[in-house]
Chains A and B, each alone.
Chain A
Amino acid sequence: MHFGPHLLLAALEGLVTSAVLALTALGLSLVFGVMRVVNVAHGEFFMLGAVLAWAISTAISGHPALGFLAALVLAPLIVGLIALVSERLVLRRLNYNPEATIVATIGMLYIIQQLALTFYGPEARPVEPPFSYRILLPWFGYSGYKLSIIAASALLLVATWFVLTRTKIGLVMRATQYDSETAQAFGIPVDRVYAGVFALGAMLAAVAAVLIVPISQAHYLMGQDPLLLSFIVVIIGGLGSLRGTVVAAVLIGLSDGIISVFFSPTLAKIIATLLVAMVLVFRPQGLFGTASR
């Protein structure tokens, strides 16, 4: 294959990564933006989504699309419920203290990971894609399912944007983000908003995982990379900024796809992580964010 088509392939792969990453990182960013806490267990919610997708799609016989659709609806709901329960049992009792929350979510990370290992096992298991149509380009054939991931992710991002900026729920969330005490004084049930946002963040990660699992595989350690990449995206994009998150996800996804085609993936990760740490040190508001109030 020549350089041009090779680059196109790398860019397409990068876009698929970006699409999934944008959803996952948006979940992390929402939780940080509204609640001001960092959820280290976010990657495990992603992993749970994928593992549940496998469980649901194997439980439902018939056409693979049927099982996949069921997983797409049920897995995020279950993950959201788990997040809700853990928010009630742990985070609320900690009063959302940022440092205690990080320690507690590290604990959650280990618990979820270990339970997945115990009940799901160490194997990586595939989920059948809902359809296997290949789009034939002049140089290579490309999976139609991968393109549909990009479309589905774009749709969900637009929907989230719509909810945040054009509905009452979004207004309440933004008010809580801007100043939770004043919001409380105006009768907004801040702790219910927090619970909802935490569940929503986990559900976004789970949806992203269900979308990606037919082309990767479900594995109990698969939450590590999305967590790190989401951190990177959220930091580059500016914490709590939706537009910045999406732009950064496309940037990171594309460069990750292209760099790892041409260079060693470990080297790519070293450079990316180091750059992001430097961004956090020298420009803590992110590349697109504005200085904090």
Chain B
Amino acid sequence: MKEASPAKAYALHLGVIVLLFALSFVLPEYHHGLLARIMVLAVFAMGYNMLFGYVGLLSLGHAMFFSAGLYGAGLAVIHLGWSVPAAFAAGLACGALLALVIGVLALRTSGVAFMIVTMMFAQVFYLIILYFAAWTGGDQGLVVPQSARVLVLGDTSLGLTNPTVRYMSALVLFSIVLLVTLAVARSKYGRVLVAIRENEERTKMLGYDTFSNKLAAVVVSGTICAASGAAYALLFGYVGSTFASVQYSILPLLWVLLGGAATTLGPLIGTLFMYYVVDITSGYTSAYLLIVGIALILLVLFFPKGILGTIRQRWLGWLP
């Protein structure tokens, strides 16, 4: 990998953020709402990418971190009447704590066993949500009341149901996570993670504590996914067990694979592309899972590096 000039990389990312900001004023209403949702879900994909792309750990259970944030924030508002910032923090805390516990356990395994263990923990989490239906609403889910979704900043109060506020909140979260990912990817810590992915034994021999580095990556990844979930609950006002099902562990994998693993902008591109493919095809057929399935197989067969991964390999070596 060629050494990127930091100015070029940061300029590109700021450019993407400015573009998304500008789009807010020109997009028609429908796509405006869709893009807000995509940005929140892209945060989920970026969290997934942190572990899958950089550390090379393929988890099949990230839906539990997303839904830990979703339920942590949603239930705090619904049952405890917490304010929006407090609920968001609660969602983050739930995700971080869960990621810590799961990380300590699951990192004892590797490879295929890691995939199955994470899938099983996610399944347990999903079943627990169904079991405590009295509080979680079970498979019906719960609606976060509109009156509670108001962000009070000093004297002004912003209703998160307002499309512009919603879009801008999504953009702020997205931008922070994007820049954090970029900073981590370029930092010394990020290099250690990539070293673990490429050759764990050798990294260990060089004196790095690979277990605690991996554990930190699981916690960071889980917390970012929880941030996405918490934002989803607060911005779109719905928490439901579907978000904890296996399908929502597979989707971020698909988005990251499509956009390009271990690229900072790949998760956004993958999410954007897949969301629109599904949105357009669902106009013709209800079989959107068929598209997901075919996309997964074609990607692993012919396109394992994804869109940005291929571009980086062929043309733009400096792409972070």
A residues within 8 Å of B by Cβ? Answer: 38, 90, 93-94, 98-100, 102-104, 106-111, 113-115, 117-118, 228, 231, 235, 264, 266-267, 269-270, 273-274, 276-278, 280-282, 284
Taking a contact as CB atoms under 8 Å apart, the answer to whether A266 and B289 are in contact is: no
Q: Using Cβ atoms and an 8 Å threshold, which residues of chain B touch A284? A: 109, 113
Rounded to whole angstroms, the CA-CA distance of A274 and B301 in the bound complex is: 33
Q: Using Cβ atoms and an 8 Å threshold, which residues of chain A touch B292? A: 107, 110
Rounded to whole angstroms, the CA-CA distance of A108 and B292 in the bound complex is: 10
Taking a contact as CB atoms under 8 Å apart, the answer to whether A107 and B112 are in contact is: no
Chain B, interface residues (CB within 8 Å), range: 35 or more
Rounded to whole angstroms, the CA-CA distance of A280 and B115 in the bound complex is: 11
Taking a contact as CB atoms under 8 Å apart, the answer to whether A270 and B111 are in contact is: no
Nearest CB in chain B: distance from A263 CB, A: 11
Report the nearest A residue to B58, measured CB to CB. A99
Taking a contact as CB atoms under 8 Å apart, the answer to whether B296 and A110 are in contact is: yes
Q: Using Cβ atoms and an 8 Å threshold, which residues of chain A touch B117? A: 277, 280-281
Nearest CB in chain A: distance from B169 CB, A: 32
Q: Using Cβ atoms and an 8 Å threshold, which residues of chain A touch B58? A: 99, 102-103
Nearest CB in chain B: distance from A224 CB, A: 8
Q: Which of A99, A108, A109, A118 contacts B112 (CB 8 A)?
A: A99
Q: Which of B116, B287, B301 contacts A231 (CB 8 A)?
A: B116
Taking a contact as CB atoms under 8 Å apart, the answer to whether B115 and A117 are in contact is: no
| Interchain residue pairs with CB less than 8 A apart (27) | A38-B115, A93-B301, A94-B300, A98-B112, A99-B58, A99-B111, A99-B112, A102-B58, A102-B112, A103-B253, A103-B296, A103-B299, A104-B296, A106-B293, A107-B296, A107-B297, A109-B293, A111-B293, A111-B297, A114-B289, A114-B293, A118-B290, A269-B127, A270-B128, A277-B120, A280-B109, A280-B120
Q: Which of B106, B253, B287, B304 contacts A118 (CB 8 A)?
A: B287
The answer to whether the Cβ of B130 comes within 8 Å of any Cβ in the partner chain is: yes
The main secondary structure of chain A at its interface with chain B is helix
Q: When A103-B253, A228-B123, A284-B113 are in contact, do A110 and B290 touch as well, CB less than 8 Å?
A: yes
Q: Which of A106, A115, A273 contacts B296 (CB 8 A)?
A: A106
Q: Using Cβ atoms and an 8 Å threshold, which residues of chain B touch A277? A: 105, 117, 120-121, 124
Taking a contact as CB atoms under 8 Å apart, the answer to whether B293 and A107 are in contact is: yes
Rounded to whole angstroms, the CA-CA distance of A231 and B127 in the bound complex is: 17
Q: Using Cβ atoms and an 8 Å threshold, which residues of chain B touch A113? A: 289
Taking a contact as CB atoms under 8 Å apart, the answer to whether B131 and A114 are in contact is: no
Rounded to whole angstroms, the CA-CA distance of A288 and B287 in the bound complex is: 42
Taking a contact as CB atoms under 8 Å apart, the answer to whether B120 and A99 are in contact is: no
Interface hits, B255-298 → A, CB 8 Å? 257, 287, 289-290, 292-297
Taking a contact as CB atoms under 8 Å apart, the answer to whether A273 and B124 are in contact is: yes
The answer to whether the Cβ of B20 comes within 8 Å of any Cβ in the partner chain is: no
The answer to whether the Cβ of B108 comes within 8 Å of any Cβ in the partner chain is: yes
Rounded to whole angstroms, the CA-CA distance of A52 and B300 in the bound complex is: 29
The answer to whether the Cβ of B250 comes within 8 Å of any Cβ in the partner chain is: yes
Rounded to whole angstroms, the CA-CA distance of A94 and B250 in the bound complex is: 19
Nearest CB in chain A: distance from B78 CB, A: 22
Q: Using Cβ atoms and an 8 Å threshold, which residues of chain B touch A274? A: 120-121, 124
Nearest CB in chain A: distance from B71 CB, A: 16
Report the nearest A residue to B296, measured CB to CB. A107
Taking a contact as CB atoms under 8 Å apart, the answer to whether B294 and A107 are in contact is: yes
Q: Which of B131, B289, B299 contacts A110 (CB 8 A)?
A: B289
